[in-house]
A and B are shown apart, each in its own frame.
Chain A
């Protein structure tokens, strides 16, 4: 059934783009204290993120909505089985969302400190939790005829945690590079230096992840049976190396672009390995959720495909337009002068 395959691809693309975009928001946010040494620094950081965080977060809402519309059984299982983890994620996203808007609304030191903490935790936790969630999806959840046999604790298994750390590291480097592109002077220099320092750790975690994936998941089966697919993880590794190469050449924008590609391709690697599963069962493959046994009816998939093919290109076009309007770097002077700044 072609629609199911189309929606599998779209589902993967939506999650990949979400992580590519919100990844730098989460990265810059988790580095809020490290990069933001003064109130001025922190205001500049927040103002680089300010115009784009909401638009980036909508990709999550769309990914979730698309899962609901195209694969409702998977949506239901994913959100109810991973209840507590997603609850914590939700709390973090709620706190993060309001902190950008609220921090600048009062001058009290305690007020600002509180929202600074919210920005840091509200961005660090989602990165970790998304990694844990997807690691467990890659490895498969313990589900069978009797239902779900897992818990929040069982999600924090070694592979899940490793994937969590991978996401944290990916986003940290990504966020630092974003900041280096969007700022100047001291903040730019420090964020670029931080990205360079973090990269080796990212590489180590990525290698560990690629290795452990072989033992913890069945993701590599697809690659072994269709070796041409290996191009995806190979390009992911190339992009990851590209980050380091471009950073060394002081080509920060290209390094950031390489980081974008890395995230897209890492998610792509995972999703390609999952096919045709959406959430495998690690107890009994008969209970794996696939694109075939958990999808909507052909009619619904067709309607959704028409909507997606009309509107997603439009969305991408106006998003690029607005990003271009905000391509200039953010400086402290600009933030202090502008009454509407965060």
Chain B
């Protein structure tokens, strides 16, 4: 175990843990704001109760998103000092801007929203939750533009022994970053949609507050359906960008070894990295992979063998994560479609099997989101900045193995404990239901 491996493991643990809470914050802030809007527009107290109930869950989750986020900012400097020195001229700016334009906005107005029910008018109070929703989504933009730059570096030159920014506009309009932002935010909306649908399903199974939870379910189902469709479309276009700008990653995602035109997709596939081939391939749908990559059925796909072994990402995790994510995405799209239909025209409260599935489906978008990040980050290896800096060159030189062992152990314990408390609180509040 060396500093590099431990630091990579720690970054994975801390970022994946952070990303348990962020997607729900992104989506549930919008849903809560929408519910409060219906209340202010119609005066219907049911919407007020919905705002307060779902908002309570939102707040518990929000706190953990905030505190785990500070870890991320510290960690770039703590464990990845060489990275920070080498690309900080470019990478530091979006992070600082994220704090200035988004974090302040969300943190100030969440305080107003929590404590200001009786202190400001209905409209101002409504404005505050919309500002929170806007700000959380805006913060996602900046961090994803930063990550987008790591995947597809633009607007820079190598000078003075480091990468220096020469075109801020290029950073802001990097199609990789912009698309990633939209795709990731939408995945957050799906997490929120299934969270609300799942908890609503729990109460509907118990025949508890049927109207309240049917209404919540219906809103979430529409939100989920629209988001899943857009996630699918942005995901498709993201694959095109990956094929264009990160060919090694794309080859790993589909486990393509030989460069070829008109590559088909095998429904069943087992890669063999050692032998540089696929051990097992079955049920090939012709041309699909080429089509996914370039929207042309006979496009040429670069195989992994085009790249020296040490420039290929780990194939099995990248390949499996991509497939599982896409598969889950399709399930979620169908489930939200069915949910939208049943909550409007079917008697949702009597659909016991469907409700049970929806309750069990709460973790599904969470898992899909994490898998997506594995594709993105593991698929980018061995690069920390694609084509510019290797991960192995990026780690801090002044820290020792024992320091990172302590920090990794500390985070694992602390986060583990907080995670348990979080689930306990969310379950408790969810089960209790809204006030009478």
Partner-B contacts on A (CB < 8 A): 47, 50-52, 54-55, 57-58, 60-62, 64-66, 68-70, 72-73, 75-81, 83-84, 86-87, 90-91, 93-95, 97-98, 100-102, 105-106, 147-148, 296-297, 299-300, 303-304, 307-308, 311-312, 315, 318-319, 322, 325-326, 338-341
Whether the pair B111, A80 counts as a contact (CB closer than 8 A) is no
Partner of B406, one of A55, A81, A84: A84
Interchain residue pairs with CB less than 8 A apart (13):
A62-B103, A75-B77, A76-B84, A76-B85, A80-B399, A83-B399, A84-B403, A147-B397, A297-B160, A300-B90, A304-B96, A311-B101, A312-B100
The yes or no answer to B393 lying at the interface (CB within 8 A) is no
Partner of A307, one of B97, B116, B159: B97
| Count: A-B pairs, CB below 8 Å | 222
Whether the pair B84, A58 counts as a contact (CB closer than 8 A) is no
Contacts of B307 in A (CB 8 A): none
Stretch of B57-65, B189-197, B224-232, B352-360 lying at the A interface: B57-65
Whether the pair A81, B398 counts as a contact (CB closer than 8 A) is yes
- Complex Cα gap A31–B413 (Å): 27
- Complex Cα gap A75–B8 (Å): 20
What residue in chain B is nearest A316 (Cβ atoms)?
B104
- Complex Cα gap A172–B104 (Å): 25
Whether the pair B100, A308 counts as a contact (CB closer than 8 A) is yes
The yes or no answer to B119 lying at the interface (CB within 8 A) is yes
Contacts of B100 in A (CB 8 A): 62, 65, 307-308, 311-312, 315
Contacts of B68 in A (CB 8 A): 94
Interface size bracket, B side:
35 or more
Whether the pair B96, A65 counts as a contact (CB closer than 8 A) is yes
- Complex Cα gap A62–B160 (Å): 26
What residue in chain B is nearest A78 (Cβ atoms)?
B77
Contacts of A296 in B (CB 8 A): 88-89, 92-93, 164-165
Contact (A87, B406) CB under 8 Å given A61-B103, A68-B77, A72-B92? yes
Q: Specify which of A68, A311, A312 lies most central, judged by the most chain B CB atoms within 10 Å of its CB.
A: A68
- What are the 10 closest A-B residue pairs judged by CB atoms, nearest first? A72-B88, A79-B77, A69-B92, A65-B96, A68-B92, A69-B96, A51-B111, A76-B84, A80-B81, A76-B81
Contacts of A101 in B (CB 8 A): 59-60, 62-63
Contacts of A68 in B (CB 8 A): 73, 76-77, 84, 88, 91-92, 95-96
Whether the pair A83, B403 counts as a contact (CB closer than 8 A) is yes
How many Å from the CB of A170 to the closest CB on chain B?
A: 23
Contact (A62, B104) CB under 8 Å given A72-B88, A81-B398? yes
How many Å from the CB of A297 to the closest CB on chain B?
A: 4
Whether the pair B67, A97 counts as a contact (CB closer than 8 A) is yes
Contacts of B93 in A (CB 8 A): 69, 296, 300, 303-304
